[in-house]
Homo-oligomer: A and B are copies of this chain.
Amino acid sequence: MGVVVSLEGGRNKKPSLTPLMTLVAEDLRAVNELIIRRMDSPVAMIPQLAGHVVAAGGKRLRPMLTLAAAHMCGYEGTRHIALAACVEFIHTATLLHDDVVDDSELRRGLATANAVWGNKASVLVGDFLFSRSFELMVEDGSLEILAILSRASSLIAEGEVLQLITTNDTETGETAYLDVITAKTAELFAAACRIGAVIPGRPKVEEDALETFGMNLGIAFQLIDDVLDYSAKQATLGKTVGDDFREGKITLPVVLAFRRGDEGERAFWRQTLEDLEQGPDDLKLAIELMERHDALADTVERARHYGAIARDALGIFTDSPEKAALVDLIDFCIERAH
């Protein structure tokens, strides 16, 4: 039962985001105010479009990581506010460009910025937010943090290009898939956490521990996201089911179902995901094939494995409400699947 360690001690309690949200609530309000203030521009379309994305932007998981990690490291100043905003700006810029690249029309049940303002404006406002993020980092003045976040940004872009190449390629293996999600998702989680230790100048071992925590949490988070795209649970979260399928994205549930399937099934995956020839019942059939081969359940198991590593990475920190909330966050990210 080693890999389900992340639920031990809380086995009867449904994991929740509430402890984390409560701990960082005041800071997060300050982050949100700063985001609104710093995405302003005399060019009115910029705050309009950026405001739409930021407002639709969900839970603010990444800036919460920076805030909670900084507190866990004993930080009592205010620099973490602006740096958490930087992390969210980078995330928002990549969302804008992602939706252009994926031709997405909906995100969390709302029209995407590109659906409302067009692809061109989304590309340019993404560039603006990205630049603005670096301006904020420069104001903070830590070259170490600039190095961490500029490296994360390069890796995200690299991961997105890699994903573009693997899309529609059913030969993609688990390692190539992991490379993609590590770069496009987990690197920013890792950077967001790491800077929580850099801000108060904690020893490198704590920076490394937080990076490991963030990296593995990010991988687990993305694995569960990919499961949810084929799960009925998804509809209850206000998201559409089957986006990845329609775009021919190769995620771990597909990788597992493809490899465990027979030749007939592989022909089905090639036709639907490579040639994008999809009939009205094909998504349902895809989910059935995944369930037949335990592809969804086993993807959740893989996520538990990374979640367990994330949990152990926090072992070097003394107990605190923030540490407990970050551990809860791992469980929350994984148990979303059920």
Contact = CB atoms under 8 A, between A and B. Distances in A.
Contacts of A41: 158, 161
A132 B152 CA distance: 10
Contact of A143 (B123, B143, B147, B153): B143
A42 B93 CA distance: 23
Contacts of A138: 143, 146-147, 150
A160 B93 CA distance: 16
Given A45-B165, A138-B143, A143-B141, A100 B123 contact: yes
A284 interface: no
Contact of A124 (B97, B127, B135, B141): B97
A55 interface: no
A135 B151 contact: yes
B97 A43 contact: no
A154 interface: yes
A204 interface: no
Given A41-B158, A138-B147, A164 B128 contact: no
Contacts of A158: 41-43, 46, 128
Given A130-B130, A153-B127, A147 B135 contact: yes
Contacts of A127: 93-94, 97, 126, 130, 153, 156-157, 160
Nearest to A145: B138
B154 A124 contact: no
Q: Which 4 A-B residue pairings sit nearest by Cβ, starting from the closest? A: A128-B157, A131-B153, A134-B150, A131-B154
21 contacts: A43-B162, A43-B165, A46-B158, A93-B127, A97-B123, A97-B124, A101-B124, A119-B119, A121-B161, A125-B161, A127-B130, A127-B160, A130-B130, A131-B150, A131-B156, A132-B154, A134-B134, A134-B150, A138-B143, A139-B147, A146-B146
Interface of A: 41-43, 45-46, 93-94, 97, 100-101, 119-121, 123-128, 130-132, 134-135, 137-139, 141, 143, 146-147, 150-151, 153-154, 156-158, 160-162, 164-165
Given A43-B165, A127-B156, 8 more contacts: A42-B158, A45-B161, A93-B127, A101-B120, A119-B119, A124-B161, A131-B154, A131-B157
